[in-house]
Structure 1
Amino acid sequence: GSLEQNKELVARLKGTGTTHYKCYNAGSECLGLISKFPVTDAQLICRSGGNIVVAFWLKVPNERPWIVVNCHLRSNALTFDERGQFSQWTKTGQSSDSSAWQRRLYNKIKLAAAARADMVDTLSRFVDARRGQVKFICGDFNDTPISSARRRLVELGFRDAFRAAGNGISRTFNRDAMYVRIDHLLANPTFVPVEAHVDNGVDLSDHYPLIATFRRPQP
């Protein structure tokens, strides 16, 4: 959101248990983090078009700084009309100018998937260089639970909170016929997911929030 909206958010956080907030403004978009711990730094990991991935450093008592990665991976960038055609196609198996539309859709999705793969390459190198310090990778992956992007990040040694403690499909993208969960929350294995759900009562954007609770066993 805009910097003005961020200032309003900071004011609203006063008096809550999560009073710390930091935003990375990349011009094209702003990614932020709200935390109970002080957020000391933010670093751009990579960008593709208007989409970015940002790392945030948290000052946690008696521990090495935690890193939380907020992702907005490359979008398929389907237009309103294309999403409408997709909706018609999923319901009837037909769309206007069907073959031409399917080729356009395929090309858009293919190019976006390649861009997401490049972003995941860069993110993977960042995580590999900071093993144990990256505690969470979260955000809008613009990809489904069976996607290569999500699978590759899980294979770095992270737990998918929803897969471990959620239930059902739980759509996070709430527009048109796109009944998919494209927002994910991955945790360092020292955090055990005990509950995860999508709150479809919050309609402030075209995504519903994914909420998870973790338990951290004592070493």
Structure 2
Amino acid sequence: MALILNIETATRNCSVAVARDGQVLAYREIAEQGYTHAEKLHVFIEEVMQEAGVALTELEATAVSKGPGSYTGLRIGVSAAKGLCYALQKPMLAVDTLAVLAHAVSVESGLIIPMIDARRMEVYAAVYNAAHEEVRGVEAEILTDESFGDYSGPIYFVGDSAEKAKTVLTDVRFQFLESVQFPSAKVMANLAEKQFKKNQFVDVAYFEPFYLKDFMITK
């Protein structure tokens, strides 16, 4: 029964959960328009540990959302996870951000497509079946009225791109589950536990977030 700290900062949602054997003991999260991860993250970590009644030294691993997502958000989360792992001499787990988003919903049939906003009409997206098995890996794509047209059956979209996606994705097969906008550390907990049991750790020294696209500075 592993005690794992889960950190999710790939989007506007700054989310932290501590879980034992995949069951969440305590969590904190907030999704604000302005990114406040640098201010909130370490406070949230301290609060969830206190609420769960466990010490950092009792952790058996730290899990972090690996991306894709916000460049700044990912850097903050990964830096915090690395610092904890170095200090505590514990292993680190990296969980796919879109997998976390997809696992936030359950459907009887069809496909789940988690999407993360990448500005303008671009999104980071992957495709999962109803059993949460990956059908298509992560891609950065420009949304058009032809997007995802090759897939049959009902398609459920989750993520923070619904508003712009609905302007072009108008097929009757498409359903937008707008109650799920951001990946959460609460959902990450179970995925991290599975990776822990399989010893799917990453190298703390050399791990880098999965940005998918190069960071660009704009005026």
Q: Fold-level match, TM-score > 0.5? A: no
Structure 1-normalised TM-score? 0.29
Larger Rg: 1
TM-score, with normalisation over the residues of structure 2?
0.29
